[in-house]
């Protein structure tokens, strides 16, 4: 099996398993992403930024999770550079998380600005599918015990701030 097919099969099995099981038995956001098999770069980044404990926390969180293909679209060397800058990496990852459990149906037909855990807002548009800034949600509503994951096709980069907050 090619990695793409393995990833698709794992993702399909994951969704089927989550939809068929009760929410109480669903894995947390980190374990769900690991099981999917298509978030290797994201999981590496979450570990490097020290956010595993947070994303295994009570939540609930809504995570816009870039898959490995999304990270591959970044300019060469970007991921490696970010893995060495924990503060910047953590800020980028927190920009992919919003507090609460938001499903695709909750934003259908709406256009919203939503505050992220990082502090700045993302534009969520549910008029034609769901987009977050320039990223398209390619797989919505993957349930986790402490939130929901929406797979996106582009890494979200927060706008530069005048001053960095530490």
DSSP state of 23: G
User: What pLDDT was estimated at residue 25?
Assistant: 55
User: What pLDDT was estimated at residue 160?
Assistant: 81
User: What pLDDT was estimated at residue 12?
Assistant: 40
pLDDT classification of 153: cutoffs 50, 70, 90: very high
| Tens-digit pLDDT profile for residues 103-115 | 999 999 999 999 9
| Tens-digit pLDDT profile for residues 77-105 | 999 999 999 999 999 999 999 999 999 99
Gap between the Cα atoms of 147 and 141, Å rounded: 9
CB 33 within 8 A of CB 42: yes
**Angle CA 25–148–158, to nearest 5:** 145
With 0.85 as the threshold, say if the pTM is over it.
no
Using the predicted structure, report yes or no on whether residue 10 has a pLDDT greater than 80.
Answer: no
User: What pLDDT was estimated at residue 74?
Assistant: 95
Gap between the Cα atoms of 70 and 136, Å rounded: 10
CB 82 within 8 A of CB 89: yes
């Amino acid at each position: 099996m090619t990695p793409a097919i393995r990833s698709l099969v794992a993702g399909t099995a994951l969704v089927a398993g989550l939809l068929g099981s009760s929410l109480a038995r669903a894995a947390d956001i980190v374990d769900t992403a690991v099981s999917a098999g298509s978030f290797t770069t994201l999981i590496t980044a979450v570990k490097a930024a020290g956010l595993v404990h947070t994303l295994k926390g009570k939540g609930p969180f809504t995570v816009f999770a870039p898959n490995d293909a999304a990270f591959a679209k970044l300019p060469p060397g970007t991921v490696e550079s970010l893995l060495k800058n924990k503060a910047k990496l953590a800020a980028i990852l927190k920009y992919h998380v919003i507090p609460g459990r938001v499903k695709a149906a909750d934003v259908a037909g709406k256009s919203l600005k939503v505050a992220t855990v990082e502090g700045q807002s993302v534009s969520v548009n549910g008029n034609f599918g769901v987009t977050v800034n320039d990223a398209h949600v390619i797989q919505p509503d993957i349930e986790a015990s402490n939130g929901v994951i929406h797979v996106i096709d582009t890494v979200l980069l927060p706008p530069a701030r005048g001053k960095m907050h530490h």
